[in-house]
Chains A and B, each alone.
Chain A
């Protein structure tokens, strides 16, 4: 808290006015309106709204397709976060040495962050392309299995997971590397003198000391894979084949803007909001208790 403040009656209001206006118009109003809309459905001609109470939620929770979407979202998010971070941590640990040119490596690792998920998806779409892509071509020497993601749901899921990890991987690695370099070598040497092997040293010392970095990266990767990958799904798979890659945000968009079921889509927004609030609560508890800064 500052003790020096400027005495002025109206200026502070003028200063916060733009931000407040934007926040109320494009945050509070839509959030509350989503709550209201989620209790209605559009009439057959779309000209008025009919109150149906919790009907939309009942319909959602009894819809197997919605559960499938939720499961896909969580699986996708878990794969991107866990695989992406595990590989990054492994490589960073192996590459943790005082070497020249770290700044250059960092530049060469960070640039993919700037690529839009949709563009990353389009590039990987071609790498995976069943007829012309380099990956199916190489795999055709190993197995006769057709890795055609137009037809096989799991290949499509692998495609978007790979594209998402690719985009995130560089900075996961860069951050782990920076975190590892900040751990005093003397701590590890001491453990080594005490007879702890490399694996023991990693789990007893390195991993706990890296927990702030891990926590930061988990949050970042989860938010990314849950919300920012809409473009990836929309540009590449359109949620398909079938419903194989129809993540929650994609479904909410599709039901709202293609299916024009505003209430149904708003109900999905409300569920997403609850999910984010829950995740944030977990995040706060976790920051307070588990993480050593």
Chain B
């Protein structure tokens, strides 16, 4: 879907030339220039708020509060970031976010791989029931059952723990669904060959299925990491000490409210630190991110 077809492109050029009107090359130049202009403006408009936030995070309090707003970086970058780091205990917050995001991503990939393997490669009593039990979760996201989920976590004694932050987010079938779809496209002959060679199911899973699933694992990883890092509602509910907060909710205390000193420079420094990791993951793993977006939302 994301790739352009060279055949179609060649076809378009050929038809245009056959039509024999405006020379195709010149028309392409024009539309190409328009396209570049539109895309450049879009990219700039999208980037502006981030640039603005960055600029604010480098200014002193005086610069932040003077009009007209200054739109060039200033010299207070280091003190602002140090201030945000110390006041919000950013080290701990970022560590918590990293633990939650990685555990959600890896945990969900692991349990999804195993259950998809069972569903595709085994016949067992109650398989249909298991299948529907798992897949019905595709329908209801976490926010529609918050109170009761909290009560379960509280009965387990998991309030304000990493377990409580992580495990409830694993209860969704997107990963299982993705791997099931993928396993079904793998030819039967592969499993047959493995069986003839005397490989047991776990050997087959480890030596054949897992290496073949690399791209899907990477795709799911990006989506889940971003989800785990950015989730707001659940950590807000399940944590109640500053030490267990994740970064997206932990920096709330730095956002100046009306009656407070308008230290937006410090707030923006904190915001920049929190938004950087998931953005870096998306940019670095872009190919898999696009694949993941398409596969998980289908």
Contact = CB atoms under 8 A, between A and B. Distances in A.
B233 A115 contact: no
A189 B19 CA distance: 9
Interface residues of A, number: 109
A2 B290 contact: no
Interface stretch (A60-68, A99-107, A152-160, A201-209): A99-107
Interface in A243-283: 249, 252-253, 256-257, 262, 265-266, 269, 272-273, 276-277, 280
A113 B149 CA distance: 27
Given A2-B188, A30-B152, A116 B275 contact: yes
B237 interface: yes
Given A15-B114, A249-B233, A273-B140, 16 more contacts: A2-B184, A4-B191, A11-B122, A11-B201, A12-B122, A26-B170, A95-B34, A114-B283, A116-B232, A118-B232, A123-B52, A126-B264, A150-B258, A227-B143, A235-B252, A257-B150
Interface in B26-67: 28, 31-32, 34-36, 38-39, 42-43, 46-47, 49-50, 52-53, 56, 64-65, 67
Contacts of A84: none
A146 interface: no
Contact of B279 (A114, A131, A253, A276): A114
B79 interface: no
Interface of B: 1-5, 8-9, 11-16, 19, 28, 31-32, 34-36, 38-39, 42-43, 46-47, 49-50, 52-53, 56, 64-65, 67-69, 71, 110-112, 114-115, 117-124, 127, 130, 133-134, 137, 139-141, 143-152, 167-168, 170-173, 176, 184, 188, 191-192, 195, 200-202, 204, 226, 229-230, 232-233, 236-237, 248-249, 251-252, 255, 258, 262, 264, 267-268, 271, 274-275, 278-283, 286, 289-290, 293-294, 297-298
Contacts of B123: 5
B124 to A, nearest CB: 4
B262 A119 contact: no
Contacts of A82: none
A118 B293 CA distance: 21
A185 B233 contact: no
Given A16-B118, A186-B12, A266-B147, A134 B69 contact: yes
Contacts of B290: 106, 110, 174
Contact of B143 (A99, A120, A189, A249): A249
Interface string A2-33: 11111011011101101110111111111101
Contacts of A2: 120-121, 184, 188, 191
Q: Tell which of A11, A26, A173, A174 has the most Cβ of chain B within 10 Å.
A: A26
Contact of B147 (A91, A118, A186, A269): A269
A223 interface: yes
Contact of A123 (B115, B188, B236, B271): B271
A26 B18 CA distance: 63
B192 A269 contact: no
A15 B118 contact: yes
A286 interface: no
A117 B230 contact: yes
A43 interface: no
Given A8-B122, A269-B148, A18 B171 contact: no
Contact of B232 (A95, A181, A230): A230
A132 interface: yes
A122 B267 contact: yes
Given A118-B249, A256-B146, A91 B282 contact: no
Given A116-B248, A178-B1, A22 B279 contact: no
Q: Tell which of A126, A137, A181, A234 has the most Cβ of chain B within 10 Å.
A: A126
A31 B248 contact: no
Contacts of B229: 116
A77 interface: no
Contact of A106 (B5, B19, B114, B286): B286
Contact of A98 (B3, B4, B251): B4
Contacts of B140: 27, 31, 273, 276-277
18 contacts: A2-B121, A3-B188, A15-B117, A16-B134, A29-B148, A110-B286, A116-B278, A119-B248, A122-B251, A122-B255, A123-B49, A126-B264, A174-B290, A178-B3, A182-B8, A185-B12, A213-B1, A266-B147
A252 B144 CA distance: 8
Nearest to A287: B298
